[in-house]
Structure 1
Amino acid sequence: MVRSALSRVFGIVCVAATPATVAAEEIIVFAAASMTSALAEIETNFEAATGHDLVVSLAGSSALARQIQQGAPADIFISASTDWMDRIEADGLIEEGSRFDLLGNSIVLAAFGTETAPVEIGPDLDLAGLLGDGRLAMALVDSVPAGVYGKAALESLGLWDDVEAQVAQADNVRAALAFVAAGEAPYGIVYATDAAAEDNVTIVGTFPPDTHPAIVYPAADLASRDVPAEAEFLAYLRGPEARAAFERQGFTVLTE
């Protein structure tokens, strides 16, 4: 069951057991919003294969990390940023030895519509000119990983000062993408995987990887609860079925 983490910070949904699922366990997963499409597929397949109930809460990694720090009940955390996982680990909130790097991604410039011409992303890009009077949609640039990566890339290219006043910030990268898909912003900076999942946007350029920190999604077992099926789900994430789901969405799978 995929739910917004911001609407159920501390609530747990109770699922009535049936004779066929007496041994089933509920696994609560806090995951970066950019994983929405891939985790929807993984949830369906994992539940069918195991009988467990996967409860997935999606939001910006920063919001999820803060909820975990505040004691929100969760079993697994998948962040779009090593920094936020580092903070959780430093607080002693993950099981020792359970953390691993799961996925990689890239950030792109996405445009409203399906016929926008590609651009060359570099120091000479006239991004302010492309925007005109419009806005540049981004996730929160000081906390949400996609926004942090995007701001770093623009600063590296010397473009940030020209467009800062036109940035429209959203709580997470999927919300930023929605601004572009609805035509509320002509352009946005989002993950390549998100842009590829939206029919009403065009990827017009990819930011060079050397303009921003490496985009790595670490996963870990949280120390707040002890559910035996946690290990089963983490193993599933590293298996062939999950790999195929992630690759279909455009992620780079970092596990063997």
Structure 2
Amino acid sequence: MNALNILSGGAAQGLVASLAPKFKAQTGLDIAGEFGAVGAMADKLRQGMPADIVILTSAIITKLAQENWLVPASISDIGLVETAIGVRSGDPLVAVNDATGLRAALLAADAIFVPDTKASTAGIHVAKVLRQLGIADEVASRLRIFPNGATAMRHLALSDAARPIGCTQSTEIISTKGVTLSGVLPKGCDLATMYTAAVAMRAAAALQAQHLIDLLTGDDARGLRIEAGFLDVRN
């Protein structure tokens, strides 16, 4: 066995990557698997994709544990992740301090890069916010929808649109080269989602999976969590 298999929401990809060298030094294992929309990752686990560790929203982790896909005793919260606005690096930041500012920023954009609006945490929320702001129909043709937030942000970074912006988890914006965090969604439009890790019931490397969870949630990684965009649950 050369690698620990992971199924994770894209929100945790940057943090996992930052700890991968330490994990390999301590266990001899690389980290392999998939990062994507949380709903899609949960379905992959249910469909039998091999996994040792799963990192998804707390609500989905709870449901998967109830379905006997995860080891209940291993469940550990990593931290809260906010949904936010990103711009291409070098573009002016946009004002999203209140709902009015967010509405104006979205209307001014000629391309809006978002993750899956039916299977991802941030994408589902973006669709809700657009309806809430009364602009869903007006901006529908400008939406650029991708399977997950990381992919959406990579395409934002390379966009040749005049005024593109993106909306996804803050961690995905922070970890994408060529994209800058402009601000989290304002009160009334905001969303902070708890991301949680657990060992898969059918894990081939359960001890190593638990070790990675300990690294992700431990006090030594607090600075890395904050740098990656997690709001530390231990504050």
Whether the 8 Å contact between 1:109 and 1:187 is mirrored in structure 2 is yes
C-alpha distance in structure 2 between counterparts of 1:202 and 1:235, whole Å: 30
TM-score, normalised to structure 2, is 0.85
| 1:172, distance to aligned residue in structure 2 (A) | 0.4
Structure 1: give runs of 5+ residues left out of the alignment: 1-13, 16-25
Task: Give the equivalent residue in structure 2 for 1:18.
Answer: none
Task: Give the equivalent residue in structure 1 for 2:216.
Answer: 237
Whether the 8 Å contact between 1:102 and 1:255 is mirrored in structure 2 is no
C-alpha distance in structure 1 between counterparts of 2:189 and 2:107, whole Å: 21
Whether the 8 Å contact between 2:154 and 2:177 is mirrored in structure 1 is no
Whether the 8 Å contact between 2:117 and 2:123 is mirrored in structure 1 is yes
1:176 aligns with 2:152: yes
| 1:121, distance to aligned residue in structure 2 (A) | 4.6
1:105 aligns with 2:81: yes
| 1:92, distance to aligned residue in structure 2 (A) | 1.7
C-alpha distance in structure 1 between counterparts of 2:178 and 2:192, whole Å: 27
| 1:76, distance to aligned residue in structure 2 (A) | 0.9
Amino acid at match of 2:184: T
Which is bigger in relative contact order (C-alpha 8 A, separation at least 6)?
2
| 1:66, distance to aligned residue in structure 2 (A) | 0.8
Query: Given the alignment, which residue of 73, 79, 85 partners 2:50?
Result: 73
| SS across alignment from 2:72 | coil
Q: Which structure is higher in strand share?
A: 2
C-alpha distance in structure 2 between counterparts of 1:110 and 1:228, whole Å: 37
TM-score, normalised to structure 1, is 0.78
Q: State the Cα deviation string for residues 42-97 of structure 1 (Å, max 9, x = none).
A: 11111113334433432222221111001111111001x33432432232211123
1:64 aligns with 2:41: yes
1:223 aligns with 2:201: yes
Query: Which shows bigger deviation, 63-72 or 27-36?
Result: 27-36
C-alpha distance in structure 2 between counterparts of 1:123 and 1:208, whole Å: 6
| 1:193, distance to aligned residue in structure 2 (A) | 2.3
Q: State the Cα deviation string for residues 218-250 of structure 1 (Å, max 9, x = none).
A: 111111225333322222222133333222222
C-alpha distance in structure 2 between counterparts of 1:94 and 1:121, whole Å: 39
Task: Give the equivalent residue in structure 2 for 1:51.
Answer: 28
Whether the 8 Å contact between 1:150 and 1:212 is mirrored in structure 2 is no
Query: Which shows bigger deviation, 31-40 or 190-199?
Result: 190-199
Amino acid at match of 1:39: V
C-alpha distance in structure 2 between counterparts of 1:107 and 1:98, whole Å: 26
Query: C-alpha root-mean-square deviation of aligned residues, in Å?
Result: 2.4
Task: Give the equivalent residue in structure 1 for 2:232.
Answer: 253
| SS across alignment from 1:211 | coil
Whether the 8 Å contact between 1:31 and 1:64 is mirrored in structure 2 is yes
C-alpha distance in structure 2 between counterparts of 1:228 and 1:200, whole Å: 37
Query: Which shows bigger deviation, 241-250 or 42-51?
Result: 241-250
Task: Give the equivalent residue in structure 2 for 1:126.
Answer: 104
Structure 2: give runs of 5+ residues left out of the alignment: none
Task: Give the equivalent residue in structure 1 for 2:121.
Answer: 145
C-alpha distance in structure 2 between counterparts of 1:229 and 1:105, whole Å: 25
Structure 1 stretches (4+) deviating beyond 6 angstroms? Answer: none
| SS across alignment from 1:126 | helix
Q: Which structure is higher in helix share?
A: 2
1:85 aligns with 2:74: no
| SS across alignment from 2:74 | coil
1:39 aligns with 2:16: yes
If you compute each CA radius of gyration, which structure gives the higher value, 1 or 2? 1
Task: Give the equivalent residue in structure 2 for 1:30.
Answer: 7
Task: Give the equivalent residue in structure 1 for 2:166.
Answer: 188
